[in-house]
Amino acid sequence: MVTFFADLRRFLPRGSDGPQRYTVREHATVDDLLALIGVAPDADLTIAVDGEQAARDTSLHEGAEIMLLSPMEGEPQPQPPPARRPRRWKGEPPDGTLRLLEQDPARESRRSHHLDRGAGRRRSSAATPADAGSSRHYLLKYVPKGADPLGPDNILVIAPGVLTGAPVPGAGRHSVGAKSPLTGGFGESESGGYWGAELKRAGWDAIVFHGVSPTPVYLWISDGAVEFRDAAHLWGKITGEVEDAILAELGDPRIRIAQIGPAGENLVRFACIANELNEVAGRTGMGAVMGSKRLKAIAVRGKTPVKIADQPGLLAIAKWVSGTMDEKHRAFHEFGTGAAMQGKSLEGGMPVLNYRLGAADTIAKVDAIAVRDQVRVKMGACYACSVRCKKVVHIEEKEEAARAARRERLQGSSACGVRSARPLRRRSAVRRTGVRVAGRRWASISASTT
C-alpha cells in the first residue's frame, strides 16, 4: 500500500484518496514503484518503507507499507539566481540610513537618530530575516553588568529585519531582545505576521525602550508621530479585549498591535509578546520585560512603502521563489510547516513528551492533514510569505469566525502527547493570557495546556 502526503497527492489516480495498492514485479525496488506511479527519476522526495526511511534502491516485499513525503526542511536546495550588484554611492544616499527610535516611558521622552548604513549592516548581517544584531549591540551598550532583568536598567529592543516590509517571501519577521528574566543571559525571540512590516512602513528600523513607567501606558506610532497613551483601562485584560479596545480608540482597523497579556503584567518569566493575537515572540520571557516597564502594547500604523536600494534585484529573487513553488515548497504552501511532521517523526526529530522520545505513532492524528480534515476552514500567511503556517479553524458553531484564527504550532502538540487535533483549541486560552505554549522549530512546550 502506498500513502501519498502533501503535494505528492497529485500522483493519486484521478478521483482517488487514501492509500493505494499497486502491483509490481518480483524483487522490484522503490525506484520501480515510483516509475509505475509516474514520479520522475530526479524528483526530490522522502520515502519510508514499513515505517523506516528508505532509499530508492530499497527492495520491496509483498504487503509493504510505503509512504511518499515531500523533502524535509533543512535539506540542501538550489540557490536562487544572484541579485544584481547594488549601486555604489559616493557618500550616504538620502534613504540609505537606518532610523532608530529610543523611548523612556518613565519620562515619556523620545529621541530618534540615524545609524550609518555600514553599522546597520554589521549589526543585522547575522540575524536575518529578523534583526537580533541590534538587540546584542544595544544590550552591550546600555545594560550594566549585574542589572536586574525586570528592573529599570534593562532595555527592550524591537527590530525588524533589513528586508522586513519588502515584497519578498519570508520578509515579515521582527526580533525582540533584552536581558532574559528566565536565564539571566541574552534573551531574544522572533515573531512573524504583519507588525514588523507595519513598523518599517511607519519609517522606523528599531525601537529601544529604557526605564520603567510609573503607570501603565501603550505606545502609539503613526508614521512619524509617536506618543505614549494611558493604558490603565487596559491593564489586566486579555489580548483579544485589548486589541478591540485600542482599535476602537484609535479608529483605524488596519493598525497592527503588539502586546502583553496578564502573564507579562504579572512578570511570569516565560511570558510572551503577542502581535495580531496569533503571532508571538515566545522565548526567553520578553513579555515579562515589557510588563516590568508597564508597557501594555505598541500600536503601529505605517503608510509609506519600504525603500529598496536594488529593487530589480530583489524582485528577481521574489519571482524565483514564487516561480519554483511547485518544485520546492508546495507542501508548505498547502499545509504549513505541519507538512513536515510525518518526516520528522521518521527521522526521530519530533519533541515527543518533551524530547523523551523522537517519534510517535499518533503523528497522523495531529498533523496538518488531520487538522485539514477535521477542523480547518482556510489557510493564512505572514506578510508576503508563500509558506502558509496559519490554520483558521472552527471548533464550535457558536465561536465567532474572527476569533477562530489560531496559529497552531502543530509540532508542539506532540510534546504533551496530544492524540487528536481537537484538544489543540485549549492552547488559545493559554495564549490569550500572553503565555507561549511552543517555540519555533519544534521547541518543547513551556506551559501545560491540559
**Range with lowest mean pLDDT among 78-87, 180-189, 357-366:** 78-87
Res. 95: pLDDT tops 80: no
Judge whether 302 and 79 are in contact, CB under 8 Å.
Answer: no
How far is it, in rounded angstroms, from Cα 331 to Cα 344? 14
Query: Residue 73: what pLDDT?
Result: 37
Mean per-residue pLDDT of the chain = 79
Query: Residue 354: what pLDDT?
Result: 83
* Mean pLDDT within 372-384: 87
Query: Residue 243: what pLDDT?
Result: 96
Q: Which residue has the higher pLDDT, 126 or 365?
A: 365
Res. 388: pLDDT tops 90: no
* Mean pLDDT within 53-74: 77
Res. 317: pLDDT tops 50: yes
Q: Which residue has the higher pLDDT, 146 or 63?
A: 146
In the chain, the percentage of residues whose pLDDT exceeds 70 is 74
Three cell numbers written together for 217: 501606558
List of long-range contacts for 55-60, beta carbons under 8 Å, 24+ apart: 55/30, 56/29, 56/30, 56/31, 57/29, 57/30, 57/31, 58/29, 58/30, 59/27, 59/28, 59/29, 60/24, 60/28, 60/29, 60/30, 60/32, 60/33
**Range with lowest mean pLDDT among 165-169, 289-293, 302-306, 412-416:** 412-416
List the domains of the chain with CATH numbers.
Answer: 2-69 (3.10.20.30), 98-301 (3.60.9.10), 311-432 (1.10.569.10)
pTM greater than 0.75 (yes/no): no
Each residue's pLDDT tens digit, 247-296: 999 999 999 999 999 999 999 999 999 999 989 999 999 999 999 999 99
Highest mean pLDDT among 112-126, 145-159, 328-342, 428-442: 145-159
Query: Residue 105: what pLDDT?
Result: 73
* Mean pLDDT within 322-334: 81
Query: Residue 252: what pLDDT?
Result: 94
What residue type is 329 in one-letter code? Answer: H
Q: CA of 186: how far to CAs of 121, 135, 183, 287, 346, in Å?
A: 21, 9, 8, 14, 34
Judge whether 405 and 193 are in contact, CB under 8 Å.
Answer: no
Phi, psi of 187 (to 5 degrees): -115, 130
What residue type is 271 in one-letter code? Answer: A
Q: Residue 416's CB: how many other CB atoms inside 10 A?
A: 21
Q: How confident is the model at residue 7 (pLDDT cuts 50, 70, 90)?
A: low
Closest by Cα among 135, 172, 125 to 155? 135
**Range with lowest mean pLDDT among 77-86, 153-162, 321-330:** 77-86
Query: Residue 168: what pLDDT?
Result: 84
Res. 78: pLDDT tops 60: no
Phi, psi of 305 (to 5 degrees): -60, 145
How far is it, in rounded angstroms, from Cα 425 to Cα 19? 29
Q: How confident is the model at residue 50 (pLDDT cuts 50, 70, 90)?
A: confident
**Range with lowest mean pLDDT among 51-55, 72-76, 216-220, 324-328:** 72-76
Judge whether 271 and 260 are in contact, CB under 8 Å.
Answer: yes
* Mean pLDDT within 209-233: 93
One DSSP character per residue, 66-105 reads: EEEEPPPTTS--PPPPPPPPPPP-SS--TT-SEEEEEEET
Query: Residue 362: what pLDDT?
Result: 87
Q: How confident is the model at residue 320 (pLDDT cuts 50, 70, 90)?
A: confident
* Mean pLDDT within 336-357: 86
Q: How confident is the model at residue 137 (pLDDT cuts 50, 70, 90)?
A: confident
Q: How confident is the model at residue 93 (pLDDT cuts 50, 70, 90)?
A: very low
**Range with lowest mean pLDDT among 204-213, 238-247, 315-324:** 315-324
Q: Residue 397's CB: how many other CB atoms inside 10 A?
A: 5
| 2-4 and 66-69 beta bridge pairing | parallel
